[in-house]
Structure 1
Amino acid sequence: MPRSSLVDETVTTLLDRIVSGRLGPGDRLPGQDELATLLGVSRLTVREATATLAAGHVLRVEHGNGTFVNPVDRWTDLDAVSRAARAGGQGSDATAQSLIEIRRMIEVGACALAARRATERDLDLLQQHCEAMAEAVTQSDLESFVRHDMAFHARILEAAGNPFLGAVYDPLRRVLERARYQTSEVPVIREHALDHHRRVLAALRTGDPEAAQAAMDAHMDQTSDDLATHVRL
């Protein structure tokens, strides 16, 4: 098995122990040799896995003292935060609704900016994504639908013309993509989403920031309502 896969598996195993409470905030991890033996992997794999979790502030490394579990409120890895929320009593539905709240905070404002700044090329690409989503609805092609759905929203962020938006939004992408697959499995949700994407694009074409903002806000409402009505995560 490739080492990267072993590292990913080790990250998952360690995170499972943390979110289940077997390793709590402030707990010190066993040494690398002991942990490698316990998990059945190499010391190098353990080192890379703990470094990955430390990069997301799930762990903190105190040189000469050891590696410790951080409180969840210090974590910056969204995947880990999402798992901890579910394990801590916030169900998958509540976690998904929390993600929609974050999306609303970012994307509604971005859509208003895009109404002012989008180029004809941006609008043409958004139209192409809408057409591809429509084709995916007809063909029941979930993978294509999600790919173009994500690309539609990414293009709006680019059209907003703010270089910080991508950096702020990028950590959400992996979590959002997984959630999109779960929700978009429901045919009626795909149909609702396509309708709202078309409305967002129509608002962007007017160049009216308030209209674009309202259209994206309505799309977030639709996403939230569909989640509550049609999906049990």
Structure 2
Amino acid sequence: MSRENLVDATASALIDRVLAGDFADGALPNQEALARECGVSRLTVREAMKGLEQRGVIRVAHGVGTFVVPAEHWRDIDAIARLQRLDPKGTGVSRQLIEVRRMIEIGAAELCAARCPDSVLETLECCVQKMRAAAEDSDVDTFVDADIDFHDTILQGTGNPFVAAIFDPMRPTLEFSRTQTSSVADIREHAIAEHQGVLDAIVARDPEAAGRAMTSHMDQTQRDLETYVLSR
């Protein structure tokens, strides 16, 4: 394993321990102790902790110790997403994801309709076809993959790399949420219809229609969540 990957793996392991409540008093052991526990060098632990400090997960009080930052103040998307996935019902994360998606994906659909190359249209059509086939086979995993690929393609189709970069760390959490909801056959059918509407608007190169179609999709996603998941 490369040094960079080892540092990342150590940081990830420390986040896992934070989420597991291993540091109940909020204080981390010293670097030497953590190095022994993680089976890595002190330098690796130091670099991992520096990264976690920059991401707002821990704070270092020089001469005092290293402490876990309260989760509501974290600035790292991956750490926040991993925390939210601990919710056994996923109710909080599902609602929050829809809020974030509304803020980003409606505008992304508009930009995609205005800017994307024809190759994006072909990929979007392929994703919808895969969703239809997976729905017929009740293949939830394939359905979710095609669903998320559809949205990833729209983000890429904006031509703005920042848009896709913002969403990338949230993909595992989105997969978690969509797998939960897409296990319901009615939700799969609703999703296919909404995705087709978004696709039609983008194919027509109509940004306003694409924005309306994505708004409709987010509205339907919210209704399905409330009706089929949260009400139970």
| Cα distance in 2, alignment partners of residues 86 and 201 from structure 1 | 30
| Cα distance in 2, alignment partners of residues 49 and 140 from structure 1 | 42
Q: Which runs of 5+ in 1 are unaligned?
A: none
TM-score when scaled to structure 2?
0.81
2:140 corresponding residue in structure 1? 142
Query: How big is each residue's C-alpha offset from its partner over 1:87-126, in whole Å with a ceiling of 9 and x where there is no partner?
Result: 8x9x731331111100110000000111111222111110
2:65 corresponding residue in structure 1? 66
Q: Confirm whether residue 56 of structure 1 aligns to residue 58 of structure 2.
A: no
Count of residues paired in the alignment: 222
2:24 corresponding residue in structure 1? 22
Q: Which runs of 5+ in 2 are unaligned?
A: 1-5
Query: How big is each residue's C-alpha offset from its partner over 1:196-216, in whole Å with a ceiling of 9 and x where there is no partner?
Result: 111100111121111100100
| Cα distance in 1, alignment partners of residues 84 and 153 from structure 2 | 30
CA-based RMSD: 3.0
| Cα distance in 2, alignment partners of residues 144 and 10 from structure 1 | 32
Q: Tell whether the 8 Å contact from 1:107 to 1:157 is kept in structure 2 after alignment.
A: yes
2:74 corresponding residue in structure 1? 75
The letter for the 1-side match of 2:127 is: H
Aligned identity (percent) is 41
Distance 1:188 1:117, change over 3 A: same
1:11 corresponding residue in structure 2? 15
Q: Confirm whether residue 196 of structure 1 aligns to residue 194 of structure 2.
A: yes
The letter for the 2-side match of 1:159 is: G
The letter for the 2-side match of 1:214 is: R
Shift of 1:158: 1.1
Shift of 1:160: 1.1
Shift of 1:63: 5.4
The letter for the 2-side match of 1:42 is: G
Q: SS at the partner of 1:223?
A: helix
Q: Which piece of structure 1 moves more, 162-171 or 108-117?
A: 162-171
Q: Confirm whether residue 205 of structure 1 aligns to residue 203 of structure 2.
A: yes
Shift of 1:50: 4.6
| Cα distance in 2, alignment partners of residues 214 and 189 from structure 1 | 20
1:116 corresponding residue in structure 2? 114
2:3 corresponding residue in structure 1? none
Q: Tell whether the 8 Å contact from 2:18 to 2:68 is kept in structure 1 after alignment.
A: no
The letter for the 1-side match of 2:157 is: A
Shift of 1:36: 6.4
Q: SS at the partner of 1:231?
A: helix
| Cα distance in 2, alignment partners of residues 51 and 189 from structure 1 | 43
Shift of 1:167: 2.0
* 1:145-184 correspondence runs (5 A): 145-184=143-182
The letter for the 2-side match of 1:110 is: A
TM-score when scaled to structure 1?
0.80
Shift of 1:53: 4.2
1:42 corresponding residue in structure 2? 39
| Cα distance in 2, alignment partners of residues 82 and 158 from structure 1 | 22
Distance 1:78 1:128, change over 3 A: same
Distance 1:85 1:163, change over 3 A: closer
Q: SS at the partner of 1:81?
A: helix
Q: Which runs of 4+ in 1 moved over 4 A?
A: 3-10, 33-37, 43-46, 48-53, 62-65, 82-87
| Cα distance in 1, alignment partners of residues 148 and 155 from structure 2 | 11
